Structure 1
């Protein structure tokens, strides 16, 4: 990139010397813009995802006196004593801290709103800093602004940091960005510690990034196999991973997560991380000089980890959620984000996949370009990591945010080479038009322009109704009339449960969490079965009310399983005598009924 400056100030020198100051200033500008853009949603606490609502409820319960290690949600399925959430309190800390900070000045309600708006922006600062460090280490000291511009075009990634996105995804992406910076670190001990600790923090938060943590560990081991001098990196990585995971388990594992389960950092995964860290530490200490010997030892260690895992924890070889086939067929297999990218429409898949492809090409190009430099090892690691992240899209499209973020270094490397070449061309139309076109192309930003020309099916009346219902039923104004009723337990759709308990004083029966299997199945069986069966299931959960959001996306499953089931009967006006309709405002998207006490008791 050409040296730029004005007056007596060299811009590239300023961007190098004071890069952190300017990167944090850029983050502050993005944060202010995000809050301004989404202020109406913040004002109405429009938490759009079930996990965001549940995260707020978890923090509320903790601040109200619930134990640090007690993550049971007592307002879901209270007839059975509530149910456990497989999360940890790592992500609760910044949210709770912001609430306590604002509460003396604006009261509890507004403190929750402000905290929910600001908290997701904190991990974005970590991501922007980590990607800036990676660009400085692998491309050029002044290349970090380009990386941040490319990041702004990662639509799937940036959505994880939007105000009100208070669940754990943003923090796990932050851990992943720090891992990448560690892989790019030329200082071996510091890089190993960075990768190990960031992986341990990510696993303490949740297991969603477990494949990426495993891949990072594999890359550290591969670097050692290739170069014995990398033993120091692997030694420190092994200690950091094992020790960090043990510390995370001790500080954050809930009472429920101290059982031998497969869906969180339980003793199962703790033993795996400690064993893996110990073996890598021992291999680094041995550090034979022959490359074939290092490869053989690494293969034996990997086989020992995999064999031990299969032998000691065979229950974890399938789905980590450990759900029954009935729940998988009824609910889990119908989650859209769990489907591979090729099963989604082109208009959905194209903008997600474009940047990962560019990132792979850019990382490969950079590996070749710096093949005679010390940077080649870092670029080879980035290329391998980016390719792995892109391959994850073939498993689940929910890997999109991570795949896009990991593509930023490769795309930045292309921008750093291609755009200056265009700017230095002797033809003016290449200098101007070519520079703009090249930047849009290699940064992936062109996807937004192409998207409007991709074919799409016209929305059906059904899809429009579903979209409207999903939005309307979750809004504050729709839920508010429910608080005029005496407090009770409301039997309603699974996806509506967390929002209901977040906005009203009522309890709900179910939420979309796999440890809530009994309640999820009961809700689906009630709405897809006969009225008499629904009556018994509603009585089983001691519900006082029945609430139905017409045409919510979940109802497509009900209709598909039984077009004449209880849900279809209710929305069709066939209300059984044991349900008493309750009037709601004319514009309400709900149908609400009181379950008659005498009939419920006798059911």
Structure 2
């Protein structure tokens, strides 16, 4: 029997490779894991609760509000654009385990340390979950060495270095685990109903957490549907299970996390009626597949059933939520789209990154593209039924994410779940080839293929060696990482927290650290539902003194906060925006702005109190928190 690489039996093999030693592989895995979970990276989290990303900060702010007594169904962030606040589309299903961990740690560590411990532990727990799922799945199909190599490859891929690092309490890591579970459940050559139910239920949970995985869930549905159309009754159980599981999980989870008065309101950025309609359509097709199997319906009949149900789903979706065809950011005005959304790393395209930051583009996106091509090639080449099914499923799910990543980098979050699996398989083949007779060029090609799925390998050839330990990853803020650190120094926010509470007008990315580390309210934060606040912040950052004055009055701001490390700069030949000159000290402060000497020396932040009606005294106000 041949191996996955198509190599001859063991008797034709030559000397053993040193990489076949379990002890050596364990050591390599431990070294790789140390790169991801270096204990020295815990200090910023425990000492200052310095989280990696704006989304992590916003998640912890929401969890704090929940623990402080804000209602389960009250999804409003009341300190963002008060007094009305901004409703969140984020799922309480992620808030719940994080809040539970904080409550469990608080009697032992105190609240501040409990938050730090939770922020450090939560992504590690999810990485363990991913590792267990991948380990069992890969060991069954490819053996213990491939399963172990997954743990070597994963910490060296940019997606995992990003979403599973200490402090990442946003939901992307949970979504990667869900995507992996869906794929492993569907990679069942027998295509049993029970495995379909499991895959569908996890897909429903993933939809409730967030719609980022919708392309993968849709691709999985199309895959099992195509199986049924082609193979009939043999594939009916998997299709029925997937449809029943998807609708059976998403409907109660929607009710669990959504206020009853919003059950009939369609929204495009969270689980709501239009997406439940599609899940119901999947269940309908699944039921029809079981009935068709009993009545021996032919392929033409199966195609007709598929077309009718698909047409009904499309018509219903267009009737209740036609705007959702434009995506989750429907209704965003051009100013916010061009000045904020298009500047966020996650929304930038691969060609854009390739022109401006080739090392970031290659290390983050290229492993996913290589893995996608490898999955497709192996799906066409593999002959063993169970392995062939695995590659077909993985190819069907990784390709949509890879295509999205070419246009918007956020596609890497779902496609990245499969890179460690495919990289481990390729690396295992390369190790096997080292001890097999044959062409040295063939061996080199296998090694290069395996290395091409490691982000650190791309960094090695595109960036200085110092970047090997921490290759640049793509985040959700629009400010470069080095500038972001300067703008979020904890000592400066501790000083801001000592000022009387008020509403702060600042750049969009300063909103989450202000909400997390101070008692102030903010006009804007990088959150697409806060269009009014973000437009105000952009106008203030890009306009004249008169525009800034108008915005502060319209939004009732008490403070103006600027960061010299992240200023909006004018295009060549145009004058600098007023706030840029103000922050750099090239123009004096107008009489309605009072500079405050509240920040530590050397801070990149500058703050002014906004005077209204000839007074610089803050009016008492409720932030609604």
* Aligned position for 2:501: 487
Q: Give 1:57-72 correspondences, 5 Å limit.
A: 57-72=61-76
Q: Give 1:195-594 correspondences, 5 Å limit.
A: 195-228=199-232, 229-254=234-259, 258=263, 259-287=265-293, 288-326=296-334, 327-345=336-354, 346-371=358-383, 373-425=385-437, 438-439=446-447, 441-444=449-452, 448-454=456-462, 468-552=482-566, 555-556=568-569, 563-571=575-583, 572-583=586-597, 584-594=599-609
* SS of aligned partner of 2:49: coil
* SS of aligned partner of 2:288: helix
* Aligned position for 1:87: 90
Q: Deviations over 1:405-441 (max 9, x none)?
A: 22333333333334213223389xx6xx997984464
Q: Deviations over 1:11-61 (max 9, x none)?
A: 99x99xxxxxx9xxx899948961514112222211131111110000000
Q: Give 1:141-220 correspondences, 5 Å limit.
A: 143-186=146-189, 188-220=192-224
Tell me how far 1:293 sits from its aligned partner.
3.0
CA distance in 2, matches of 1:76, 1:502: 12
Aligned-pair Cα RMSD in Å: 3.4
Given that residues 201 and 245 in structure 1 are in contact (C-alpha distance below 8 angstroms), is that contact kept between their aligned partners in structure 2? yes
Given that residues 36 and 155 in structure 2 are in contact (C-alpha distance below 8 angstroms), is that contact kept between their aligned partners in structure 1? no
Given that residues 36 and 165 in structure 2 are in contact (C-alpha distance below 8 angstroms), is that contact kept between their aligned partners in structure 1? no
* SS of aligned partner of 2:607: strand
CA distance in 1, matches of 2:516, 2:342: 26
* SS of aligned partner of 2:361: helix
CA distance in 2, matches of 1:592, 1:257: 40
* Aligned position for 1:108: 111
Moved more, 404-413 or 522-531: 404-413
Moved more, 273-282 or 571-580: 273-282
CA distance in 1, matches of 2:349, 2:443: 35
Matched, 1:38 2:41: yes
* Aligned position for 2:474: none
Tell me how far 1:132 sits from its aligned partner.
2.1
Tell me how far 1:336 sits from its aligned partner.
2.8
> Compared with structure 1, are the counterparts of its residues 179 and 91 closer, same or farther at alpha carbon in structure 2 (3 Å cutoff)?
same
Count of residue pairs brought into register by the alignment: 575
CA distance in 2, matches of 1:105, 1:591: 38
Given that residues 156 and 456 in structure 2 are in contact (C-alpha distance below 8 angstroms), is that contact kept between their aligned partners in structure 1? no
> Compared with structure 1, are the counterparts of its residues 136 and 468 closer, same or farther at alpha carbon in structure 2 (3 Å cutoff)?
closer
Given that residues 559 and 565 in structure 1 are in contact (C-alpha distance below 8 angstroms), is that contact kept between their aligned partners in structure 2? no
Tell me how far 1:601 sits from its aligned partner.
9.7
* Aligned position for 1:124: 127
Moved more, 580-589 or 386-395: 386-395
Given that residues 360 and 386 in structure 1 are in contact (C-alpha distance below 8 angstroms), is that contact kept between their aligned partners in structure 2? yes
CA distance in 2, matches of 1:48, 1:561: 36
Unaligned 5+ segments in structure 2 are 4-8, 11-18, 465-478, 618-625
Given that residues 529 and 562 in structure 1 are in contact (C-alpha distance below 8 angstroms), is that contact kept between their aligned partners in structure 2? no
CA distance in 2, matches of 1:561, 1:295: 61
Moved more, 205-214 or 299-308: 299-308
* SS of aligned partner of 1:264: coil
> Compared with structure 1, are the counterparts of its residues 466 and 401 closer, same or farther at alpha carbon in structure 2 (3 Å cutoff)?
closer
Moved more, 123-132 or 575-584: 123-132
Q: Deviations over 1:222-242 (max 9, x none)?
A: 122222211011111111101
Moved more, 170-179 or 525-534: 525-534
* SS of aligned partner of 2:587: coil
CA distance in 2, matches of 1:160, 1:231: 36
Moved more, 400-409 or 213-222: 400-409
Tell me how far 1:396 sits from its aligned partner.
0.9
CA distance in 1, matches of 2:89, 2:141: 38
CA distance in 2, matches of 1:33, 1:48: 14
Unaligned 5+ segments in structure 1 are 4-10, 16-21, 457-464
* SS of aligned partner of 1:551: helix
Q: Deviations over 1:502-548 (max 9, x none)?
A: 11122211111111111111111122223233223212222221111
CA distance in 1, matches of 2:153, 2:463: 26
> Compared with structure 1, are the counterparts of its residues 466 and 186 closer, same or farther at alpha carbon in structure 2 (3 Å cutoff)?
closer
> Compared with structure 1, are the counterparts of its residues 415 and 514 closer, same or farther at alpha carbon in structure 2 (3 Å cutoff)?
same
* Aligned position for 1:19: none
TM-score in terms of structure 1 length:
0.86
If asked which structure has higher relative contact order (CA below 8 Å, sep 6+), I would say 2
